Homo-oligomer: A and B are copies of this chain.
Amino acid sequence: MTHRLTRHEPPAVPAVLAAAGVHAGYPGGPDVLDCVSLEVARGRRVALLGANGSGKTTLLRCLSGAHRPGAGEVLVDGRPLRHRSGALGEHRQRVQLVLQDPDDQLFSADVRRDVSFGPVNLGLPDAQVRTRVEEALTALGVAHLADRAVHQLSYGQRKRVAVAGAVAMRPEVLLLDEPTAGLDPRGVGELLAALERLEGLGTTVVMATHDVDLAWSWADEVAVVVDRVVRQDVLVKVLTDTDLLRSAGLTPPWPVRLLRALGREVDVLDPPRTAADVAALLA
Contact = CB atoms under 8 A, between A and B. Distances in A.
Interface stretch (A6-14, A229-237, A275-283): A275-283
Contacts of A261: 275-276, 278-280
Interface in A235-283: 249-251, 254, 257-258, 260-262, 275-276, 278-280, 282-283
Interface stretch (A71-79, A83-91, A112-120, A179-187): A179-187
B212 A250 contact: no
Nearest to A280: B261
Contacts of A155: 52-53
Nearest to A256: B275
Given A262-B282, A262-B283, A283-B262, A186 B275 contact: no
A181 B178 CA distance: 11
A277 B201 CA distance: 43
A51 interface: yes
A183 B182 CA distance: 10
A2 interface: no
A45 interface: no
A50 B187 CA distance: 12
Given A258-B279, A279-B258, A279-B262, A52 B183 contact: yes
B249 A185 contact: yes
12 contacts: A50-B184, A181-B181, A185-B212, A185-B250, A185-B251, A186-B249, A213-B213, A257-B275, A261-B276, A262-B282, A262-B283, A282-B282
Given A178-B182, A181-B182, A186-B250, 7 more contacts: A52-B183, A185-B249, A254-B254, A258-B275, A258-B278, A261-B276, A262-B279
